[in-house]
Amino acid sequence: MTLREDDAGVSVLPRQFPTNRGGLCQKGWTSAELLDHPDRLTTPLLRDPVTGELRPATWDAALDRVASGLRAIQDSSGRDAVAVFGGGGLTNEKAYALGKFARVALRTRNIDYNGRFCMSSAAAAGLRAFGVDRGLPFPLSDLGRADTLLLVGANPAETMPPLVRWLTEQRRGGGQLIVVDPRVTATARQADLHLQPLPGTDLAVANALLHIALTEGWVDQAYVAERTNGFDAVRRSVAAWWPARAEQLSGVPVADLEATARALGTGGRVIILTARGAEQHAKGVDTVSAYVNLALALGLPGREGSGYGCLTGQGNGQGGREHGQKADQLPGYRKIDDPAAREHVAGVWGVPADDLPGPGVPAYQLLDSLGTADGPRALLVFGSNPVVSAPRAARIEGRLRDLDLLVVADLLLSETAALADVVLPTAQWAEEDGTMTNLEGRVLRRRALRPPPPGVRTDLAILADLAARLAPDQEAATVAAARFPVDPATVFAELRRASAGGVADYAGIDWARIDDADGVFWPCPSEDGPDTPRLFADRFGTPDGRARFHAVDHRPAAEEVCATYPLHFTTGRVLAQYQSGTQTRRVAALRRAAPEAFVELHPDLAARLGIDDGDPVRVTSRRGELRAPARLSAGIRPDTVFAPFHWPGAGRANSVTNDAVDPISGMPEFKICAVRVEKA
Ligand SMILES: Nc1nc2c(c(=O)[nH]1)N[C@H]1C(S)=C(S)[C@@H](COP(=O)(O)OP(=O)(O)OC[C@H]3O[C@@H](n4cnc5c(=O)[nH]c(N)nc54)[C@H](O)[C@@H]3O)O[C@H]1N2
Ligand SMILES: Nc1nc2c(c(=O)[nH]1)N[C@H]1C(S)=C(S)[C@@H](COP(=O)(O)OP(=O)(O)OC[C@H]3O[C@@H](n4cnc5c(=O)[nH]c(N)nc54)[C@H](O)[C@@H]3O)O[C@H]1N2
Ligand SMILES: [Mo]
């Protein structure tokens, strides 16, 4: 998009670009409203020890309070007693600086970010199969040319509207769209075939699809032999997934499984995509692996116009997970426990490799340890609102309250900021330069239109100020300030060096090149060499270049329905609200379009429970309850209820969700738990 500023204020205009071709969603057009919003924070806030209220303070007072608090906590409880929580909406430069700040200025191992709640299961599955985690290993426009497109747990008509043009183009060209979702969503309505499984049964569905493909002889044996390892174990494990068994578990009719397998197995160009519906489970990694197995068995990855991909979430969901705000990671998608990676990055940072901490713990584990006997006593939050978005949120809210020091940098007083001891007002998207990396691994520019309002600092400036204040003496403060430049271009130049030689190699990318080429795809190791719009044509990112199958089996959800909690509860999004809603709940047009939380349930279920459309209902799980009006819809399974997670307070869906996590990715089980529903 492009921005224009005139007497009427800032307007957002769509721009012809290869990914969206001039399309923007409502949240995009209205985003400029937040620039001058009356709720905008323009001064730091400090909690008054006497009244307990947040009061305006000077930057000096606020930063001194943070620095002295962090120092005291680290002196008494060790370096790891300070934790950092980042966000996938931060630019690459900020995500990089935040990771460096944690490891170099705080020297804590405890950093993680909200992306753990997002694509982490697909990232882990992609990494173990392909040796590389890039949302799409091919350009988005490939979707428009696919003969068969399978979307598993994705509702892009509401969550990525500009992508819908590719779906439209695909069907116009005679392609088939198949959607797997427990609800008839705006996306499912456009599909040629809609599979409506019980939440949490996607893995069984995938194994049955592969079972059918094997039986019918649609497996690409030559590809399996030449390009992959480990198929035998998968062949054995899917043998037990005859379609009738998957039907019994998922409710998807055998005929639909067969039709899907046929479309995938006999189509020319075939793309399989997963999103949060498949991934946000305590078996999310295995579920994605089951779809990756299917794609590999059919010989799709690396074949032009075909493949497996994961639809990314936040604005910088991809780049945010490449440059070091993940607990186990250093810039360039390097592993923090790899000695060579530590040497390289420590060299760029000008510190001894031994000084770098080791891996920390994933987001939920981190949040759940805050303020406990062995857990961190202080937390710095940049770009997330876990009071609304974390699973089992009431418990996490309690953990945040137990901290000695909570510091939140935000543009608005989010529900998490409202709990903080110190709130630091920060710049937003149109007020600073930087880069973001989209789901295609395409690095893009984000340009500043104007400076932040008076009194507001950028995240980079806040980190630099804090680093200097944390230094023991004046000399060290000068060194520390130089280590944390506030100019994003300088940070990007350093990020390029830090990522050089890593999986996500940005060494050859500079801002001018991004401008000239409508974005640059990583890996791009040299300035005069090519970038990489397509991965896997000849080899995968594994040491031997071959993709790896993983035999995976269905297992039940972490919490199963019972007499007390007889219904399945799942969560997701609506078109007009974004995430925890801090930003979109403040935009009038979006509030009109989606004013409040709701609980979607089937009319038959509602009738059984004596609930009419619009009645207030209570959804109760073992962890808590949600109250919101009922919205009756014949498009949802009668055994499942759905709520969006964008609202705080009584309508908070995450009061109900389960905090079970995937053992590999740490992804929480946002998409299924057991509940009881009654009229409130
Ligand atoms: N309007 C809007 N757009 C957004 C966002 C937003 O908050 N609002 N957030 C952005 C972010 S960060 C993300 S991660 C993406 C998410 O994008 P999506 O993954 O498309 O969004 P969700 O609504 O979380 O989940 C998709 C679908 O999964 C279905 N589902 C639930 N349980 C299951 C299950 O067990 N199996 C299957 N197959 N499906 C299931 C839900 O019914 C839902 O329709 O959206 C991005 N875009
Ligand atoms: N039940 C349920 N829960 C879910 C999900 C689900 O499907 N179901 N989805 C999960 C997913 S996929 C995600 S991604 C998370 C997202 O949930 P959150 O991590 O809470 O994401 P946001 O609501 O986008 O919060 C971003 C915060 O940062 C602020 N902010 C924006 N830009 C900047 C910036 O540049 N700097 C700073 N310092 N702050 C900034 C915003 O004002 C906002 O308060 O929610 C997860 N929670
Ligand atoms: Mo996300």
Based on the domain organization, do 112 and 134 belong to the same domain? no
Share of the chain above pLDDT 90, in %: 93
* 358-370 mean pLDDT: 98
In the chain, the number of structural domains is: 4
Whole-structure pTM value: 0.96
Which pLDDT score is estimated for 471?
94
Which pLDDT score is estimated for 429?
86
Based on the domain organization, do 300 and 339 belong to the same domain? no
Closest residue CA from atom 25 of ligand 2: 384
Question: Looking at the predicted structure, is the pLDDT value of residue 24 above 80?
Answer: no
Closest residue CA from atom 34 of ligand 1: 199
Based on the domain organization, do 297 and 414 belong to the same domain? no
Tell me, what CATH number does 393's domain have?
A: 3.40.50.740
Which pLDDT score is estimated for 445?
95
Question: Looking at the predicted structure, is the pLDDT value of residue 79 above 90?
Answer: yes
Banded model confidence at residue 457, pLDDT cuts 50, 70, 90 = very high
Question: Looking at the predicted structure, is the pLDDT value of residue 164 above 80?
Answer: yes
Domain-embedded: residue 301: yes
Tell me, what CATH number does 669's domain have?
A: 2.40.40.20
Per-residue buried b or exposed e for 544-571, using 16+ beta carbons within 10 Å of the residue's own CB: eebbbbbbbebeebbbebeeebebbbbb
Which pLDDT score is estimated for 405?
98
Model confidence over 239-273: pLDDT tens digits?
Answer: 999 999 999 999 999 999 999 999 999 989 999 99
Based on the domain organization, do 356 and 449 belong to the same domain? yes
Based on the domain organization, do 368 and 336 belong to the same domain? yes
C-alpha 314 – ligand 2 centre gap (Å): 8
Domain-embedded: residue 510: no
Banded model confidence at residue 334, pLDDT cuts 50, 70, 90 = very high
SS3 of 508, please?
coil
Based on the domain organization, do 192 and 203 belong to the same domain? yes
- What residues flank ligand 2, with Cβ below 6 Å? 87-90, 114, 117-118, 276, 280, 313-314, 382-386, 388-389, 409-412, 414, 426, 428, 459, 571-572, 579-580, 582-583, 645, 653-654, 657, 670
How far is 178 from 188, CA to CA, in rounded Å? 8
Domain-embedded: residue 44: no
Which pLDDT score is estimated for 17?
74
How far is 661 from 641, CA to CA, in rounded Å? 21
Question: Looking at the predicted structure, is the pLDDT value of residue 36 above 90?
Answer: no
Which pLDDT score is estimated for 652?
98
Question: Looking at the predicted structure, is the pLDDT value of residue 4 above 90?
Answer: no
Domain-embedded: residue 47: no
Banded model confidence at residue 366, pLDDT cuts 50, 70, 90 = very high
Question: Looking at the predicted structure, is the pLDDT value of residue 22 above 80?
Answer: no
Tell me, what CATH number does 267's domain have?
A: 3.40.228.10
Range of the domain at 617: 567-679
Query: Which atom of ligand 2 is closest in space to residue 417's alpha carbon?
Result: 44
Domain-embedded: residue 559: no
Final residue of a domain: which of 244, 278, 311?
311
Is residue 534 within 8 Å of 304, Cβ to Cβ? Answer: yes
Domain-embedded: residue 66: no
Which pLDDT score is estimated for 7?
74
Based on the domain organization, do 156 and 276 belong to the same domain? yes
Task: Show the tokens assigned to 48.
Answer: 């008054």
Question: Looking at the predicted structure, is the pLDDT value of residue 323 above 90?
Answer: yes
Based on the domain organization, do 356 and 473 belong to the same domain? yes
Q: What is the mean pLDDT of the chain?
A: 96
Final residue of a domain: which of 277, 295, 311?
311
Sign of the alpha-carbon dihedral angle for 606, 607, 609, 615: positive
Based on the domain organization, do 274 and 320 belong to the same domain? no
Model confidence over 524-551: pLDDT tens digits?
Answer: 999 999 999 999 999 999 999 999 999 9
Angstrom distances, CA of residue 242 to CA of 218, 245, 258, 506:
16, 6, 11, 45
Which pLDDT score is estimated for 184?
98
Based on the domain organization, do 104 and 128 belong to the same domain? no
Model confidence over 585-596: pLDDT tens digits?
Answer: 999 999 999 999
Question: Looking at the predicted structure, is the pLDDT value of residue 6 above 90?
Answer: no
Model confidence over 94-142: pLDDT tens digits?
Answer: 999 999 999 999 999 999 999 999 999 999 999 999 999 999 999 999 9
Share of the chain above pLDDT 70, in %: 99
Based on the domain organization, do 390 and 374 belong to the same domain? yes
Domain-embedded: residue 42: no
C-alpha 301 – ligand 2 centre gap (Å): 31
Return the beta strands (E) in 19-163 as ranges. Answer: 45-47, 54-56, 82-86, 111-113, 148-152
Angle at 666 between CA 664 and CA 672, to 5 degrees: 105
Final residue of a domain: which of 470, 501, 532?
501
Q: Ligand 1, from 181, 209, 256: best to mutate by most atoms within 8 Å of Cβ?
A: 181
Sign of the alpha-carbon dihedral angle for 304, 309, 312, 318: negative
Based on the domain organization, do 619 and 478 belong to the same domain? no
Closest residue CA from atom 35 of ligand 1: 199
Domain-embedded: residue 297: yes
* 616-640 mean pLDDT: 98
